[in-house]
């Protein structure tokens, strides 16, 4: 990249050091944006395809399997279709806001990818205030949604936009407080710093360090689902009630942008929870250095897929909460519990300092507890399968 | 109570309103005077011996010379049934409403008004229910002429 | 503090929307999310079936009765044919009665599957609907085998049924019942006990017993409000006097008696009872009697009238027939359960939220063809 920028500077004969720095900076930014777009857009598309397949298998049907082998280029076909559709803007709609809204949503989501570390040196910008920046940039999404709801000049879209506003703004608080417990414990707001404060083994992950952080993980996951308008919190885009809520009047690529943002947001939920709570890209020490970056990347992608799968699973199992129930869950349950988590973590840190025996023993106990819960879950699943007596098709490539 | 007993109870309570009684039909029915409808119906609903709290069906019927409203009543307390008919003149079909007695009658009467054209006097919200609000005519009448136009659009087909 | 002046918002939940109950329109006057007034506007599916009844012969009208409630059309067929048979004095052979009840109870199960699946989907859980449809497909295969159609069967004719059971059909029904009785608990584990689902439906649109009776509600809606009344048991027709089954009532197990959750769970339990009825019918089936249709040429009932009610999945379906001695009826009046259920929405939706209105419509299990005919 640097030689290319150097040749550019020589061509235009730029000697001013400030300007040179500007060219370097702009060049790097453009390059990073292109690389990131090259990851985010296909990732969103692939996640949309995976979601449809998983949803279908959960509903005892097959899902898209025609376009390409096993339907793997379905998302390309959908994207092309959206590009080719007529771009319809209702006459009475507020044209400027109508056009801006999808971009704001997209920027809010895309900006969050900047701080997500895919490896020990694979991060666009390891900001010192990484987690704080994350919370801030994702708030742009709510601005975009309200704009979309208002600009559509449609009462149902307005309702969807209002609901979205209330929901996203409310659920910022539990999400932020859960991340606050992490920041307290790790001592830094930078995402790479949080990952480096963990290790590769489960008992070093932040999730298992103390019960308050364990609870924080689930609260963060729930609040992130609500931020991303995923069921059970998908009232703003409730299909059977509002057609598509704030999306109703959008068609073609603008519509696709909203959904791109939603699927990419799904990845962010998985990625942030994996990075911050589950050790991120930390590898065991025995991996050779040549392979290290790729291995870290794959491990991180794998861990974030767990979060993505959980979100998809939850979406296709649960009904949606009503607006007042959703607000009640946030304000009456999640926020007091997250405050308790913050205080509890602080108290824990005072009485059981890191590095000493009681704290490490506690983390082993937490891991054992989590493993026990997983075992209970597996047993329950097997009991369900036995009782329903139905043929089970585990082959995903039906 | 058997239908005969209910009829004799009605005949002694409302002697002027009971016009006819047909015990030989598969569902024996009584015909009452239109003006007496609210009194008779309220009696049938509230008197503890009859206690007809369930309006099973309210039909509008075009009998040719007259229009008729047929009420099928049922009582959950006594598990007995009864049929009441009210006949109205064809040119001015007005029958007092039963919607204030059984709330289920509201929509039944709206439908009878819409399709047969019987005006239910005292109904809280008598407007068309199935057909558009600007429809002309009452289709279930025997002398209904199928309209050739709707909202200015000709709906007759041309056959070559 | 000065009062902020607010206006009511008038929303149109138009005839064209993804909720699965047909073409229904509601005009909602809301204050934000809370509904102040909910006016149903019906008639989008009015096909003047009652007028057609006066133009067709009695036998020719049977396919039209399919379309009165196309989700459970065997029961509509049965109601009409029972009414005509009572009017004309036609006796139905015993084998035909058993075939009729077999298909009607199968259709009751498939209709309730749609009802509970659509309710779950309207409330947000998409997965139970394909599960319900999967079972409905198996029922459709059974019914297609016996009459050739998957939705509007035209199977129950005046005097009996149109085709006899194919060899092995009864065994297939038995196999279906045996597997289906395991599916209902799986369905319950998926959605009926789900906390979010219960919270969405409990105490929503409580219909007390007196209101249910006053509004002429019938069927599962009436039983969910606590009224112990089932035409199959209390005024039996066909071979129901010989069959033994329970009648599930709403007990307010997750809220008050008569709320939406009761209407949902009554339907789930009725499916279990229908399985019981199917087993008994198969066990008592008269294999030795070959007649499945009475020999009827032209149906010309003597002048008179009759009102026959049957227990259809959506309520009480009644046919009030007036005959003037000719081959065509003088008046066919169809009284359906969804009509009165739709009438009650106007009153019970007040004070609920917009999301609740959808849940109420779905829990009452209204289908537009029954309302409009």
Quick one: pLDDT band at residue A229, thresholds 50, 70, 90?
confident
State the count of interchain CB pairs (< 8 A) between A and C: 95
C43/B26 Cβ within 8 A: no
Can you give the CATH number for the domain in which C331 is found?
1.10.645.10
Asked if the C-beta of B150 comes within 8 angstroms of chain C's C-beta atoms, the answer is no
* Complex confidence, ipTM: 0.91
CA-based nearest residue in chain C for residue A155: C11
Relative to beta strand B81-89, strand B29-32 is: parallel
Residues C331, B59: C-beta atoms closer than 8 Å: yes
Chain C residue numbers with beta carbons less than 8 Å from the beta carbon of B105 are: 216
In this model, does residue C223 exceed pLDDT 80? yes
Residues in chain A: 398
Nearest residue of chain A to residue C193 (CA atoms): A318
Find out whether B73 and B53 touch, Cβ atoms under 8 Å.
no
**CB of A324 less than 8 A from some CB of C:** yes
Question: Average pLDDT of B2-16?
Answer: 84
- Which CATH architecture does the domain made up of B3-154 adopt? 2-Layer Sandwich (3.30)
Q: What SS3 class is residue A43? A: helix
Contact of C121 with chain A, judged by CB distance below 8 Å, is answered with yes
Q: Which residue from B26, B70, B139 is facing C86, i.e. has the nearest CB?
A: B26
Residues B118, B128 contacting (CB under 8 angstroms)? no
Instruction: Give all chains having 3 or more CB-to-CB distances under 8 Å with chain A.
Output: C
- CA-CA distances (angstroms) from residue C277 to A150, A215, C101, C283, C313? 55, 49, 9, 10, 14
Q: CB distance C121–A240 less than 8 Å? A: yes
Instruction: Please say if the pLDDT value at position A238 is more than 70.
Output: no
Q: Give the pLDDT band (50/70/90) at residue C197.
A: very high
In order, the DSSP letters of B21-87 are EETTSSS-EEEE-GGGHHHHHHHHHH-TTT---EEEEEEEEE-SSEEEEEEEEE-TTT--EEEEEEE
Q: Please name the helix (run of DSSP H) or strand (run of DSSP E) that holds residue A36, with its range, or none.
A: helix A17-58
A316 interfaces chain C, CB cutoff of 8 Å = yes
The widest CA-to-CA distance across chain C, in whole angstroms, is 85
- Min Cα distance C198 → chain A (Å) is 10
What pLDDT score was predicted for residue A280?
A: 85
Chains sharing 3 or more CB pairs under 8 A with chain B:
C
| Best residue of B111, B114, B139 to probe chain C, by most C CBs closer than 10 Å | B111
**Which of A238, A241, A387 lies closest to C185 in CB terms?**
A387
What percentage of chain C exceeds 70 in pLDDT? 98
Rounded to 5 degrees, φ, ψ at B124 are -65, -25
Confidence at residue C74, expressed as pLDDT on a 0 to 100 scale: 92
- Are B129 and C227 in contact (CB < 8 Å)? no
Q: What tens digit of pLDDT does each residue of C141-153 get?
A: 999 999 998 999 9
Q: What pLDDT score was predicted for residue A398?
A: 63
**Distance (Å) of CA B106 to CA A218, B39, B95, B129, C223:** 52, 18, 14, 11, 22
A316 and C121 within 8 Å at the Cβ level: the answer is: no
Residue A5 reports pLDDT greater than 60: yes
Could you tell me which chain A residue has the CA closest to the CA of C17? A243
Contact list in C for residue B70 (CB cut-off 8 A) is 320
Q: How far apart are CA B62 and CA B87, in angstroms?
A: 10
pLDDT-based confidence at residue B110 (cuts at 50, 70, 90): very high
State the pLDDT confidence band at C281, using cuts at 50, 70 and 90.
Answer: very high
Q: Does the beta carbon of B102 lie under 8 angstroms from any beta carbon of chain C? A: yes
The mean pLDDT of B100-122, rounded to a whole number, is: 91
Q: Domain segments of chain B: what residues?
A: 3-154
Helix (H, G, I), strand (E, B) or coil at C345: helix
Whether C195 is in a domain gets the answer: yes
- Does residue B157 belong to the interface with chain C, where contact is any CB pair within 8 Å? no
CB contact under 8 A, C189 and A384: yes
Identify whether C96 is part of a domain.
yes
Asked if residue C267 has pLDDT above 90, the reply is yes
Is the sign of the CA dihedral C121, C125, C131, C132 positive or negative? negative
User: Does C20 reach chain B within 8 Å, measured CB to CB?
Assistant: no
Check A322 against C190: CB less than 8 A apart.
Answer: no
| Interchain contact, C216 vs B140, CB within 8 Å | no
Q: How many domains does chain C have?
A: 1
Q: Render pLDDT for A23-71 as a digit per residue (tens, 0 to 9).
A: 888 888 888 888 888 888 899 999 999 999 999 988 888 889 888 888 8
Contacts of C306 in chain B (CB under 8 A): 26-27
Q: Give the model's confidence band at A242: pLDDT under 50 very low, under 70 low, under 90 confident, else very high.
A: low
To the nearest whole number, what is the mean pLDDT of chain B?
Answer: 88
Residue A314 or residue B2, greater confidence = A314
**d(C-alpha C68, C-alpha C39), whole Å:** 23
Cα C154 to Cα A40: distance, rounded to the nearest angstrom: 55
Residue C183: burial class (beta carbons within 10 Å; 0-12, 13-18, 19+): buried
Q: Give the pLDDT of residue A88.
A: 82
Interface test with A, best of C24, C127, C264, C351 (most A CBs within 10 A): C127
| pLDDT of C220 over the 90 cut | yes
Q: How far is CA C320 from CA B112, B119, C83, C146, C258, in A?
A: 14, 21, 8, 29, 29
Question: Would you state the pLDDT for residue C336?
Answer: 93
The number of angstroms, rounded, from the C-alpha of B3 to the middle of its chain's C-alpha atoms is 19
> What is the pLDDT, as a whole number, of residue A239?
53
Does the distance separating the beta carbons of B57 and C307 come in below 8 Å?
yes
- Helix locations, chain C, DSSP H: 49-55, 62-66, 73-88, 94-123, 128-147, 169-187, 195-201, 209-214, 220-224, 231-234, 260-283, 337-348, 354-364, 368-372
pLDDT-derived band at A355 (thresholds 50, 70, 90) equals: confident
Put simply, the answer to whether B72 touches C307 (Cβ < 8 Å) is yes
With pLDDT > 90 as the criterion, what percentage of chain C qualifies? 60
**Binary contact (C194, A319; C-beta < 8 A):** yes
C254 touches chain A (CB under 8 A): no
Q: How does the average pLDDT of chain A come out, rounded?
A: 86
**Out of B57, B115, B140, whose CB is closest to C335?**
B57
Q: What is chain B's percent helix, strand, coil content, to nearest 5?
A: 20, 30, 50
Of A55, A61, A319, the CB nearest to C123: A319
**For residue C120, pLDDT beyond 70:** yes
Check residue A334 and give its pLDDT: 93
**In this model, does residue A180 exceed pLDDT 90?**
yes
Q: What mean pLDDT do residues A183-198 have?
A: 90
Mean pLDDT (whole number) for C38-65: 91
Instruction: Give the bridge partners for B94, in sequence order.
Output: B119
Q: Which domain holds residue C299?
A: 45-339
- The minimal CB distance from A322 to the residues C122, C182, C355 is found for C355
Picking from B61, B115, B139, the nearest residue to C322 by CB comes out as B61
**A1 pLDDT higher than 70:** no
* Rounded alpha-carbon distances, angstroms, from residue A59 to A46, A63, C300: 20, 9, 51
Hey, are the CB atoms on C200 and A319 less than 8 Å from each other?
yes
Which one of C14, C31, C126 would you mutate to disrupt binding with A, by most A Cβ within 10 Å of its Cβ?
C126
Note whether C309 contacts B83, CB cutoff 8 Å: no
Residues of chain C found within 8 Å of residue B85, distances taken between Cβ atoms: none
Q: How far is A90 from chain C (nearest CA, A)?
A: 18
Residue C233 lies in a domain: yes
Q: How many CB pairs under 8 A join B and C?
A: 81
| Structure-model confidence comparison of residues A16 and A332, the more confident one | A332
Contacts of A378 (CB under 8 A, 6+ apart): none
State the pLDDT at residue C111.
94
The interface residues of chain B toward chain C in range 38-77, judged by CB-CB distance below 8 A, are: 53-57, 59, 61-62, 70, 72, 76
d(CA C89, CA C195): 53
Residue A389 has pLDDT above 80, yes or no: no
pLDDT band at B58 (very low <50, low <70, confident <90, very high): very high
How high is the pLDDT of residue A24? Answer: 83
Distance, CA of A248 to CA of A261 (rounded, Å): 16
Residue C337 with chain B: CB contacts under 8 Å: none
Residues C93 and C241: beta-carbon distance below 8 Å: no
Q: Which residues of B53-71 are buried (b: 16+ CB within 10 A; e: fewer)?
A: bbbbbbbbbbeeeebbbbb
pLDDT band at A384 (very low <50, low <70, confident <90, very high): confident
> What six digits make up the tokens of A186?
């790790």
Q: Which residues contact C230 (CB under 8 A, 6 or more apart)?
A: C223, C247, C311
Q: CA separation (Å) from C287 to C98, C104, C170, C172, C292?
A: 10, 19, 11, 16, 11
């Amino acid at each position: 990249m640097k030689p290319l920028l150097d040749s550019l500077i020589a061509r235009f004969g730029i000697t001013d050091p400030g300007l040179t720095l500007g060219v370097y900076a702009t060049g790097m930014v453009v390059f990073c944006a292109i690389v990131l777009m090259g990851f985010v857009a296909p990732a969103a598309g692939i996640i949309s395809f995976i979601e449809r397949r998983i949803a279908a298998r959960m509903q005892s049907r097959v899902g898209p399997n025609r376009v390409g082998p096993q339907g793997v280029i379905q998302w390309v076909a959908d994207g092309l279709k959206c590009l080719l559709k007529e771009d319809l803007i209702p006459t009475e709609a507020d044209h400027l806001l109508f056009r801006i809204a999808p971009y704001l949503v997209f920027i809010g989501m895309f900006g969050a990818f900047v701080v997500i570390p895919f490896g020990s040196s694979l991060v666009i910008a390891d900001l010192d205030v990484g987690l704080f920046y994350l919370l801030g940039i994702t708030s742009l999404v709510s601005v975009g949604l309200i704009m979309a709801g208002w600009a559509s000049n449609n009462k149902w879209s307005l309702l969807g936009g209002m609901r979205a506003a209330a929901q996203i703004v409310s659920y910022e608080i539990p999400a932020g407080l859960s991340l606050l417990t992490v920041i307290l414990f790790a001592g830094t707001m930078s995402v790479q710093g949080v990952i480096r404060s963990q290790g590769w083994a489960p008992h070093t992950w932040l999730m298992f360090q103390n019960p308050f952080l364990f609870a924080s993980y689930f609260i963060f996951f729930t609040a992130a689902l609500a931020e991303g308008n995923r069921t059970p919190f998908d009232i703003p885009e409730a299909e059977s009630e509002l057609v598509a809520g704030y999306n109703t009047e959008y068609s073609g690529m603008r519509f696709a942008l909203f959904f791109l943002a939603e699927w990419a947001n799904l990845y962010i939920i998985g990625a942030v929870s994996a990075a911050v709570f589950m050790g991120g890209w930390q590898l065991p020490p025995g991996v050779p250095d040549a392979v290290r970056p790729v291995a870290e990347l794959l491990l991180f992608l794998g861990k974030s897929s767990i979060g993505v799968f959980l979100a998809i699973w939850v979406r296709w199992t649960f009904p949606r909460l009503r607006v007042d129930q959703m607000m009640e869950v946030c304000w009456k349950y999640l926020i007091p519990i997250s405050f308790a988590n913050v205080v509890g973590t602080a108290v824990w840190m005072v009485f059981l300092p890191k590095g000493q025996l009681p704290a490490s023993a506690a983390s082993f106990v937490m891991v054992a507890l989590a493993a026990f819960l997983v075992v209970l879950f597996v047993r329950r699943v097997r009991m369900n399968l036995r009782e329903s007596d139905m043929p089970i098709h585990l082959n995903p490539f039906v | 109570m058997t239908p005969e007993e209910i009829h004799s109870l009605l005949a002694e309570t409302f002697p002027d309103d009971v016009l006819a009684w047909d015990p030989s039909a598969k569902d024996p029915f009584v015909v009452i005077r239109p003006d007496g409808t609210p009194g008779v119906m309220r009696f049938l609903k509230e008197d503890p011996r009859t206690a007809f709290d369930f309006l099973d069906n309210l039909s509008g019927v075009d009998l040719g010379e007259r229009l008729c409203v047929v009420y099928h009543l049922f009582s959950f307390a006594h598990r007995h049934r009864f049929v009441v008919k009210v006949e109205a003149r064809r040119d001015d079909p007005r029958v007092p409403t039963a919607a204030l007695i059984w709330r289920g009658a509201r929509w039944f009467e709206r439908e009878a008004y819409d399709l047969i054209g019987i005006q239910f006097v005292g109904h809280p919200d008598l407007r068309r229910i199935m057909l558009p609000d600007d429809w002309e005519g009452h289709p279930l009448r025997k002398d209904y002429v199928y309209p050739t136009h709707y909202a200015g659009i000709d709906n007759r087909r041309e056959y070559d | 503090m000065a009062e902020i002046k607010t206006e009511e918002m008038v929303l149109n939940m138009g005839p064209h929307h993804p909720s699965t109950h047909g073409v229904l329109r509601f005009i909602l006057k809301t204050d934000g999310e809370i509904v102040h007034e909910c006016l149903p506007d019906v008639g989008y599916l009015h096909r003047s079936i009652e007028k057609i009844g006066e133009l067709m012969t009695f036998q020719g009208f049977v396919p039209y009765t399919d379309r009165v409630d196309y989700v459970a059309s065997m029961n509509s067929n049965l109601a009409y044919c029972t009414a005509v048979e009572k009017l004309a004095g036609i006796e139905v052979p015993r084998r035909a009665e058993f075939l009729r009840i077999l298909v009607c109870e199968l259709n009751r199960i498939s209709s309730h599957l749609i009802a509970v699946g659509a309710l779950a989907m309207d409330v947000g859980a998409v997965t139970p609907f394909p599960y319900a449809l999967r079972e409905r497909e198996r029922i459709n295969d059974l019914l297609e085998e016996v009459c050739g159609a998957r939705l509007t069967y035209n199977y129950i004719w005046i005097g009996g049924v149109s085709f006899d059971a194919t060899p092995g059909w009864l065994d297939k029904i038995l196999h279906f019942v045996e597997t289906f009785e395991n599916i209902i608990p799986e369905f319950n584990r998926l959605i009926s006990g789900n906390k979010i689902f219960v919270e969405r439906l409990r105490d929503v649109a409580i219909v007390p017993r007196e209101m249910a009776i006053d509004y002429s509600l019938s069927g599962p809606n009436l039983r969910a409000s606590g009224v112990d009344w089932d035409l199959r048991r209390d005024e039996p027709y066909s071979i129901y006097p010989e069959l033994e089954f329970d009648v599930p009532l709403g007990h307010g197990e997750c809220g008050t008696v008569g709320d939406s959750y009761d209407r949902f769970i009554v339907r789930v339990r009725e499916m279990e009872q229908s399985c019981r009825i199917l087993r008994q019918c198969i066990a008592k089936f008269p294999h030795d009697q070959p007649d499945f249709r009475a020999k009827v040429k032209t149906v010309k009932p003597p002048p008179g009238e009759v009102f026959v009610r049957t227990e259809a999945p959506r309520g009480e379906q009644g046919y009030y027939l007036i005959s003037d001695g000719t081959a065509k009826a003088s008046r066919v009046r169809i009284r359906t359960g969804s009509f009165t259920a739709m009438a009650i929405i106007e009153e019970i939706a007040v004070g609920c939220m917009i999301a609740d209105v959808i849940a109420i419509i779905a829990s009452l299990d209204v289908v537009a063809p029954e309302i409009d005919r």
